[in-house]
Structure 1
Amino acid sequence: MQIKDVLFASSTGAFFYDDQAAIRSGAIQDGFVYVGEPVTPDFKSIRVPAASLSVGLVLADDTVVWGDMMSVQYSGAAGRDPLFETAQILDLTSRVVVPRLLDVDSSRYLDTCAKVLSPHGQKRLSLPIEYGVSQALLRATAHLRRKTMAEIICEEFELPLPTRRVPIYCQSGDAREINVDKMILKAVDVLPHGLINSRQKFGVDGQTFVEFVTWVATRTRQIGRPGYHPVLHFDVYGWIGQEIGLELQSIADFICKVADTVPDFVLNIESPADFGSTQAQIDNYARIVSILDSRGSSARIVVDERCNTLKDIRLFAEARAAHLIQIKTPDVGSLADTARAVLLCKENKVGAYVGGSCTETDLSAQASVHISVATQADMMLAKPGMGVDEAFSIVGNEQNRLLAMLNRRRAQNENIG
């Protein structure tokens, strides 16, 4: 059950790393690039092609299983790890992680992750390393035990074999109108994200945003198939707080006003404001949730910024500082912690959304599907990239294939029983 060699391959993420601070400060787009100087450390320009590093584990039978390391789109923002640097990640992985990989029994996933991804020099390993290596280890365990990655998670966390399909959430990027049409025609469960990350897109007093929300609802009725009724989910990157102000009643008033414009839909508002620290975010989001609930609003608050690690997710969940928590997989690190995060949310009766980033790869997206289905998350992100078609295909097809295999496994178990 040992790993006999480790391979590395340079790879690319499916989108770009963006300097969020520079964009928030008003950087102007010229075509696809942003004009101006970067603000966040390590960025040489505001928009940088997403780099990734693949790690391959050579097993005893010469099978090679892979995982991909990368950071999220807005690296270095809101307490996240800095911009991904391939040379640094390769050096640390080679020096510290590879010797551990060559000295473990990879048949037990959680035990192996704990050993291989333990701190180095009393400091946690870089999160991209945890993320990529944990993917490869999960594939190794699944191969050795001749099961799906989802079944490994179910066994190690003592969960029943899942039966429910997890709703898929697509993101539009800047090509909002075209991509919304694609989502509606493909009957996506949750849409459209919207990328409301600048004053221009949010508008004075949020008017541009409100008009976009109304348009999405109208468009859904116009071209959607009969009975199609998606959840509307918009990521506003803190712009309600920036434009309306940080007074909680005013934020709640605005969110209720938006929800009232689309009364027939469930409305998710992600990252309504940034209060500057994790604790401030928890305290204020909990109050906003309480205000909305007391008013009977259909709007749901989704937390992203400043809720990065498993520790953060626990704090938000226990405080009920969101209706739905994005478990941003590269920010959480090990996929084992993503599974733990979903289960934590469920324990605290908070929605669990297995997200991630457009900068990811097909391999990381497929592994995330297995975690989402095994733990029965409330929704999962179609990733990687900002195009709807590719991400929806990768995640949707992986889920459908997985459920077909699990159904067969369930039937086999029933026959044996």
Structure 2
Amino acid sequence: MKIDSVHATPGYSGFFFDDQRAIKRGAEQDGFTYEGDPVTDGFDEIRQAGETLIVDVELADGTVARGDCAAVQYSGAGGRDPLFQAEEYEPVVEGPVAEALVGRDATEFLENAELLEDLEVDVRGSEVSSSQPEADASGAGDRLHTAIRYGVSQALLAAAAEAQNTTRTDVVVDALGTDPATEPVPVFGQSGDDRYTNAEKMFVKGVPVLPHALINSVEKIGENGETLLEYVEWLVDRSRELGPEGYEPRFHIDVYGMVGEIFGAPYDRDEVVDYFAALEAAAAPYPIQIEGPMDVGNRDDQVDAMVELREGLAEAGVGVDIVADEWCNTFEDVQAFVDAGAADLVQVKTPDLGGIHRSGQAVRYCEGTDTRAYLGGTCNETETSARACAHVALATDAAQVLAKPGMGFDEGYMIVENEMRRTIARREREQTTETDEITADD
């Protein structure tokens, strides 16, 4: 089945773009927005509406497969690609991207996605080459924005599944040579600032991993960490009151480097180890993992700091897992953290890796190591990209997968959990049919 055309339509994503540099410099909140001027290139406001570019890949038989280009909430920060503005990139998708893909076999997902990864365009949006994996040093061409590679590759994945009358999970399994999950991958719920009410919702629904909690200030963690300790104790008590019978949650708290902030610069390891021991005791009998315990300003130093902390926790017998987030954006970053043994989990931030197959490859890179893969992403995605990621999670049997998009929890959880359940049910029906046919032939 050939690709007949590629179309792009600007739309909205599930949350907002935030100028992280301006916020870290002290921008004050004004209700839901922020006062002051943005400092990161491309931003008109410190907080502005998230955007997506809706991609339709039409096949020769008229079937349309969709993907959504999306970028993370804190775009343009930490070495990421610049702020994604949909209208700016619409002609790129309908121009050089379409030219490169039209006429190709839709069933060749991996080959088509890799072509997209390597495609370079000049400033006028015309194709330069598709032979080099990095931007042309002369400036003649640049790789496509990560959001473009992310969204178009989702559409290519859906197109391959449609052309073969199979699931997107099976397309990824065939492309990457994986053993897929036979049960839904544990979904990780993100509460946002509404960390009490949303956690209660998660308990009622028996969400396996929760609540994120958005601990991104001294006020939220406490000057000595006491506020977070109280919150973890509340999580244990409330989970027992509201959770279903036999419920055993795993607590996952993102502290945005604040543990390092309150215990020195960048941090005092012994104090942090003692604090983590207190967190472990507060969370008992349930496991707890802490995302982004410190932020030391660059990848190499972050890896070293995480290795040092992980070794300290092991020496002290403290069973708190640490999760790599800050400075773990690209496939190469994931490799660096995994190779160094710097984390118990690495977050694979799907929009930052470009093509969706790269996220699958990043999860696979953790196989055979003592680092687990958390297929994450951002609240600033869409229902289309979230469903695509659910298939990657199933195909690679990731340790956990983020409920997204948005910050309201319920909608994202429904989208991701239900996509996995319907896919598993379909695969089981098809396998049963195949077995019955073989038996009948015998």
TM range (shorter): over 0.9
Q: Name the amino acid aligned to 2:368.
A: E
Q: Which of 201, 222, 230 lines up with 2:241 in the alignment?
A: 222
State the 1:352 CA deviation: 0.6
| Cα distance in 1 between the residues matched to 2:179 and 2:368 | 16
State the 1:273 CA deviation: 0.7
1:29 matched to which residue of 2? Answer: 29
Q: What are the Cα deviations for residues 225-251 of structure 1, in whole angstroms up to 9, with x where unaligned? A: 232111001111111112222233333
| Cα distance in 2 between the residues matched to 1:230 and 1:191 | 7
- Comparing 276-285 with 139-148, greater Cα deviation is found at 276-285
CA contact (8 A) 2:10 2:90 kept: no
CA contact (8 A) 2:179 2:396 kept: no
Q: What are the Cα deviations for residues 205-236 of structure 1, in whole angstroms up to 9, with x where unaligned? A: 22222222222222112222232111001111
1:55 matched to which residue of 2? Answer: 55
TM-score (norm 1): 0.96
| Cα distance in 1 between the residues matched to 2:427 and 2:341 | 33
Q: 1:343 to 1:81 in 2, by over 3 A?
A: same
Listed as ranges, the gaps of 5+ residues in structure 2 are 121-127, 129-135, 137-141
| Cα distance in 2 between the residues matched to 1:346 and 1:183 | 29
Q: Name the amino acid aligned to 2:219.
A: Q
State the 1:161 CA deviation: 4.5
- Kindly indicate whether residue 198 of structure 2 is the aligned counterpart of residue 179 of structure 1: yes
| Cα distance in 2 between the residues matched to 1:412 and 1:283 | 52
Q: 1:304 to 1:20 in 2, by over 3 A?
A: same
CA contact (8 A) 2:54 2:67 kept: yes
The secondary structure found in structure 1 opposite 2:16 is strand
Q: 1:29 to 1:304 in 2, by over 3 A?
A: same
CA contact (8 A) 1:52 1:69 kept: yes
Q: Which of 251, 254, 266 lines up with 2:275 in the alignment?
A: 254
CA contact (8 A) 1:161 1:406 kept: no
CA contact (8 A) 2:179 2:397 kept: no
CA contact (8 A) 2:190 2:403 kept: yes
Q: 1:212 to 1:37 in 2, by over 3 A?
A: farther
Q: Which of 369, 376, 382 lines up with 1:348 in the alignment?
A: 369
Q: Name the amino acid aligned to 1:48.
A: Q
1:408 matched to which residue of 2? Answer: 429
| Cα distance in 2 between the residues matched to 1:202 and 1:9 | 42
CA contact (8 A) 1:161 1:410 kept: no
Q: What are the Cα deviations for residues 38-84 of structure 1, in whole angstroms up to 9, with x where unaligned? A: 23332222211101111101100111111000110111222222211
Superposition misfits of 4+ residues, deviation over 3 angstroms: 412-415
| Cα distance in 2 between the residues matched to 1:329 and 1:52 | 15
2:131 matched to which residue of 1? Answer: none
| Cα distance in 2 between the residues matched to 1:343 and 1:414 | 29
2:189 matched to which residue of 1? Answer: 170
Q: 1:157 to 1:200 in 2, by over 3 A?
A: same
TM-score (norm 2): 0.91
Q: Name the amino acid aligned to 1:214.
A: E
Q: Which of 367, 382, 385 lines up with 2:406 in the alignment?
A: 385
1:359 matched to which residue of 2? Answer: 380
- Kindly indicate whether residue 260 of structure 2 is the aligned counterpart of residue 241 of structure 1: yes
The secondary structure found in structure 2 opposite 1:117 is helix
| Cα distance in 1 between the residues matched to 2:52 and 2:430 | 34
Q: Which of 223, 226, 239 lines up with 1:204 in the alignment?
A: 223
The secondary structure found in structure 2 opposite 1:66 is strand
The secondary structure found in structure 1 opposite 2:83 is coil
2:106 matched to which residue of 1? Answer: 106
- Comparing 256-265 with 398-407, greater Cα deviation is found at 256-265
1:292 matched to which residue of 2? Answer: 313
2:415 matched to which residue of 1? Answer: 394
- Comparing 135-144 with 26-35, greater Cα deviation is found at 26-35
CA contact (8 A) 1:75 1:82 kept: yes
Q: Name the amino acid aligned to 2:117.
A: L
| Cα distance in 1 between the residues matched to 2:336 and 2:400 | 20
| Cα distance in 2 between the residues matched to 1:370 and 1:110 | 15
| Cα distance in 2 between the residues matched to 1:103 and 1:118 | 18
Q: 1:251 to 1:41 in 2, by over 3 A?
A: farther
Q: 1:199 to 1:38 in 2, by over 3 A?
A: farther
2:159 matched to which residue of 1? Answer: 140
| Cα distance in 2 between the residues matched to 1:92 and 1:306 | 28
| Cα distance in 2 between the residues matched to 1:213 and 1:196 | 12
| Cα distance in 2 between the residues matched to 1:199 and 1:28 | 15
CA contact (8 A) 1:328 1:354 kept: yes
Q: Name the amino acid aligned to 2:40.
A: T
Q: Which of 333, 352, 370 lines up with 1:312 in the alignment?
A: 333
Structure with greater Cα Rg? 2
| Cα distance in 1 between the residues matched to 2:41 and 2:229 | 34
| Cα distance in 2 between the residues matched to 1:156 and 1:217 | 41
The secondary structure found in structure 1 opposite 2:143 is coil
| Cα distance in 2 between the residues matched to 1:197 and 1:230 | 23
The secondary structure found in structure 2 opposite 1:176 is coil
| Cα distance in 1 between the residues matched to 2:238 and 2:118 | 49
Q: 1:141 to 1:71 in 2, by over 3 A?
A: same
CA contact (8 A) 2:273 2:316 kept: no
Aligned-residue CA RMSD (Å): 1.6
| Cα distance in 2 between the residues matched to 1:392 and 1:339 | 20
- Kindly indicate whether residue 67 of structure 2 is the aligned counterpart of residue 67 of structure 1: yes
CA contact (8 A) 2:117 2:354 kept: no
State the 1:412 CA deviation: 3.2
Q: What are the Cα deviations for residues 122-152 of structure 1, in whole angstroms up to 9, with x where unaligned? A: 3432100110011000000000011000001
- The percent of aligned pairs where both chains have the same amino acid is 40
State the 1:116 CA deviation: 2.8
2:143 matched to which residue of 1? Answer: 124
